[in-house]
């Protein structure tokens, strides 16, 4: 049974694409056939985050215009052969793409893949509608900042009008040192405000940026964000409610010193 999950946020720059890419990678590692779709037409970046930008030949627009078959537009990941990318075109004239055309493409993908992950564009306009209307579940990405949570709340309100079986949220860029001092909202506070279940929490981690600079999206097993993404994929896969503890590094005497130096330096 295939699952179609849209990764959305409302606010831009919160890490939708990073969450979508890493969720796709981790599900593929678990031997699921996964297709990640970049629906940010004209402002596509999922190919870059996955390190596949030089291998994209055809886009979803080419499929819709009949220039290629769907299977020709799918780009296979070099490390995880069960992960595929369907890139969107980098041309901004996307107004003619109707949701029902995209739905037809996704219906075909559902016959091939176990998971279809849709990277939704920021905002709540036509691109958002196109992405959400094709999905069965939604994952709302937010950072622990008020502006982002506010937008997430508005998005959750809009999502509730669609026919979705589940709406969960992911907190990205959580900082344990600030959460422990109550200077940043934790996942439970946000869950209470949004009135939906959490899917996971991803800590702020420089390694995410570094791996993208190095043109690969393979997070090292030892780094915190990798563990957090693994937990997120477990939660999505099984419906469990495990949570990565961002604050563990800042507990105790050594943790207190680490926190002190992190703030001062």
User: For binding to another protein (CB under 8 A), which residues are involved?
Assistant: 146, 149-150, 153-154, 182-185, 189, 193, 195
Taking the complex as a whole, how short is the minimal distance between the CB of residue 176 and another protein, in angstroms?
16
Taking the complex as a whole, how short is the minimal distance between the CB of residue 149 and another protein, in angstroms?
6
Pairing type for strands 115-119 and 74-76 reads unpaired
Helix or strand or coil: residue 162? coil
Q: Which is nearer to another protein, 91 or 146 (CB)?
A: 146
Query: Closest by alpha carbon to 37, among 51, 24, 54?
Result: 24
Q: Which is nearer to another protein, 145 or 227 (CB)?
A: 145
Q: Which is nearer to another protein, 49 or 184 (CB)?
A: 184
Query: Closest by alpha carbon to 143, among 119, 96, 99, 179?
Result: 179
The answer to whether 113 and 105 are in contact (CB under 8 A) is no
Taking the complex as a whole, how short is the minimal distance between the CB of residue 194 and another protein, in angstroms?
8
Taking the complex as a whole, how short is the minimal distance between the CB of residue 145 and another protein, in angstroms?
10
Taking the complex as a whole, how short is the minimal distance between the CB of residue 189 and another protein, in angstroms?
5
Q: Which is nearer to another protein, 181 or 220 (CB)?
A: 181
Q: Which is nearer to another protein, 182 or 264 (CB)?
A: 182
Q: In angstroms, rounded to a whole number, what is the distance separating the alpha carbons of residues 37 and 29?
A: 18
Question: What does the buried/exposed string (b/e) look like for 158-192 if buried means 16 or more CB atoms within 10 Å of the residue's CB?
Answer: ebeeeebeebbbbbbbbbbbbbbeeebbbbeebbe
């Amino acid at each position: 049974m295939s699952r179609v999950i849209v990764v959305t946020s409302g606010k831009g720059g919160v890490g939708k694409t990073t969450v979508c890419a890493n969720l796709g990678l981790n599900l593929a590692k678990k031997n699921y056939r996964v297709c990640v779709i970049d629906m940010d037409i004209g402002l596509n970046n999922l190919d870059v985050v996955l390190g596949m930008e030089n291998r994209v030949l055809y886009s979803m627009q080419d499929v819709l215009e009949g220039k290629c078959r769907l299977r020709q537009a799918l780009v296979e990941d070099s490390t995880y052969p069960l992960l595929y990318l369907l890139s969107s075109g980098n041309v901004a004239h996307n107004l003619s793409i109707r949701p029902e055309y995209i739905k037809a493409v996704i219906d075909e993908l559902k016959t091939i893949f176990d998971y279809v992950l849709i990277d939704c564009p920021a905002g709540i306009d036509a691109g958002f509608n196109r992405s959400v209307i094709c999905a069965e579940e939604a994952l709302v990405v937010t950072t622990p900042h008020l502006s982002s949570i506010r937008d997430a709340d508005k998005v959750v309100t809009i999502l509730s009008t669609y026919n979705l079986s589940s709406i969960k949220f992911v907190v990205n860029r959580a900082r344990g040192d600030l959460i422990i001092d109550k200077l940043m909202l934790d996942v439970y506070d946000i869950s209470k405000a949004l009135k939906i279940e959490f899917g996971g929490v991803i800590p702020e981690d420089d390694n995410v940026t570094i791996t993208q600079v190095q043109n690969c999206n393979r997070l090292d097993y030892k780094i915190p964000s990798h563990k957090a993404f693994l937990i997120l994929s477990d939660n999505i896969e099984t419906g469990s409610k495990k949570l990565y503890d961002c604050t563990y590094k800042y507990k105790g005497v050594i943790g207190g010193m680490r926190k002190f130096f992190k703030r001062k330096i």
